[in-house]
Amino acid sequence: MARHCFVLLLLFLPLNLAAAPTRPANDATVLVVLPSATLPAPERRALSEAVTLWRAAPRDPGATDRLARVYLQLARTSADPRWVGYALATLQPWNGQDTIPPALRLVRAIARQAGHQFGEARRDLDRLLAQHPDYAEARLQRASLALVQGEPQLARADCLALLELATLLPGLVCQAEADAASGQASAALARLTALTRMPAAGLTPELHAWLLRTRADVAMRLGQWRLAEGDLRQLLQTDAATAATRAAWADWLLATRQWRDVVAFAARWPHDDGLLLRRALAEQQLAPGTATASIRALADRFASARLRGERLHLREEARFVLDFQNDPQSALTLALANWQIQREVEDARLVLRCALAARQPAAARPVLDWMQRTSFEDRELQQLARRAGVRS
């Protein structure tokens, strides 16, 4: 049923995307409410102040740094890549030149990574660390980049360097994360648990949130749902503004098959597009065929993205095609293309699921090789790999 709806929707899509312009009758008609209106007052103030400062001096590194970081913060909370584009735009005067100040180069690397320009981000970080080997933030950023690209050994090297530089905690969490991705997940979980028992005085809120997220992530990969739940609930109380936190919670609800809660949770955050796919998945489980509104919204997004030649949404699109369009072959193509760009656990799972659904387990070989190389641990992933015929 959903498939037929989708095919019908496809017929209407070209009509949907091209619309007829109008002339409003009234000057007072509101055409659009800007995103800053939905921000809490402190953030809105911070944004407008940063913008004003920057407009007065667009080439001042300090003003640029401040505004770019405000934009990147907004990108984190809203999962809206527009903010990343704005951040990169403020850095444009320094593009193609080597005179960019280190702080700005770091911000540029962060922004590029957020925009999935991983190659450029790595180049910036390599250059930065070559010139300033003690730049702790840059180390951490490069470690996280390595993890996104599925290279935990590289990440571990940067985490170890971080241990020597910074306060203990960030280095330890970084190291635990790298270990968890390279065959020592249980030990890493134990270490993270020990860290959570440290007196709270030593932890800034951001640090605490990072710790909880990491522990929840590792716990879920080891199948320890209760542990993950505790961390995620705590996170929701303190850090619900971050899109990644919300996504993690929705994923936990999906993993524990609490479909209604997924829908209810997604309904509380109507502007969070990242929850849309998860909501549609839950709706489909509750009653196949009821997810039409969500499916249509997602189909529109992906059609627009395809028109743009976008690669940002490959993971979501692959999942969408696999779970809603019942087209495992196309989903496999998308999942493999996504694998070339990013290699986190969800990306690996997708390739295996698509390969199995398309009855082409051989197509999942790159992922299986990667699993062997890194000894990556994840219960679902290992189950899928066994089904694909290879013990990992």
Partner 1 sequence: MKRRFQCERLGHWLIGCLLLAAVQAHAHLAGTSWLTLHADAPATLQFDLPLRDLDVAIGLDRDADAAITWGELRAARPALEAYVLARLSISADGRPCRVQPHDLLFNARNDGAYASLQAGVSCSATRTQQFVVTSRVLQDADSLHKTVVTLKTVTGAPSGVLAGDRPVVQLERHAVTPWHEILTFVQEGVWHIWQGYDHLLFVFTLLLPAVLVRCEGRWVPISDVRSCVRRVAWTITAFTVAHSLTLALATTGLLQLPGRLVEAAIAASVVVVALNNVWPLLTRDRSALPFVFGLVHGCGLASTLSDLELPRTSLLLALGGFNMGVELGQMALVLLVLPLLLYLRHWRLYPVATLRLGSLLIAVAGALWCAERLFNLQLLPAAA
316 binds partner 1 (CB under 8 A): yes
Nearer to partner 1, 272 or 327 (CB): 272
Taking CB under 8 A as the rule, which mask of x and - marks residues 349-378 in contact with partner 1? ------------------------------
Place of tokens 């450029």: 120
**CA 125 to chain CA centroid, nearest Å:** 20
Asked if 79 contacts 56 with a C-beta cutoff of 8 angstroms, the reply is no
43 binds partner 1 (CB under 8 A): no
Applying CB under 8 A, the span of 178-186, 225-233, 267-275, 329-337 interacting with partner 1 comes to: 267-275
> What is the DSSP-derived secondary structure letter of residue 35?
G
Nearer to partner 1, 46 or 174 (CB): 174
Place of tokens 């571990």: 156
79 binds partner 1 (CB under 8 A): yes
Position among 74, 148, 228, 331 found at the interface with partner 1 (CB under 8 A): 148
* Token pair in block for residue 221: 């990969």
d(CA 141, CA 201) in angstroms, rounded, equals 25
Q: Give the angle subtended at the CA of 303 by the CAs of 298 and 308, to the nearest 5°.
A: 125
Applying CB under 8 A, the span of 180-188, 226-234, 271-279, 322-330 interacting with partner 1 comes to: 271-279
Taking CB under 8 A as the rule, which mask of x and - marks residues 290-309 in contact with partner 1? --------x-xx--xx-xxx
* Token pair in block for residue 28: 């007072």
Position among 9, 127, 132, 380 found at the interface with partner 1 (CB under 8 A): 132
Going by C-beta distance under 8 Å and a sequence separation of 6 or more, which residues neighbour residue 136? 162, 165, 166, 170
127 binds partner 1 (CB under 8 A): no
6 binds partner 1 (CB under 8 A): no
d(CA 40, CA 229) in angstroms, rounded, equals 27
Nearer to partner 1, 103 or 189 (CB): 103
325 binds partner 1 (CB under 8 A): no
134 binds partner 1 (CB under 8 A): yes
HEC profile of 216-256: HHHHHHCCCHHHHHHHHHHHHHHHCCCHHHHHHHHHHHHHC
Asked if 64 contacts 86 with a C-beta cutoff of 8 angstroms, the reply is no
Of 194-253, binders to partner 1 (CB under 8 A) are 204, 206-207, 209-210, 213-214, 242-244, 247
276 binds partner 1 (CB under 8 A): yes
Position among 312, 337, 357, 390 found at the interface with partner 1 (CB under 8 A): 312
Applying CB under 8 A, the span of 133-141, 184-192, 254-262, 349-357 interacting with partner 1 comes to: 133-141
Going by C-beta distance under 8 Å and a sequence separation of 6 or more, which residues neighbour residue 360? 332
Position among 5, 9, 80, 160 found at the interface with partner 1 (CB under 8 A): 80
Position among 4, 26, 42, 56 found at the interface with partner 1 (CB under 8 A): 26
**CA 194 to chain CA centroid, nearest Å:** 27
Asked if 319 contacts 350 with a C-beta cutoff of 8 angstroms, the reply is yes
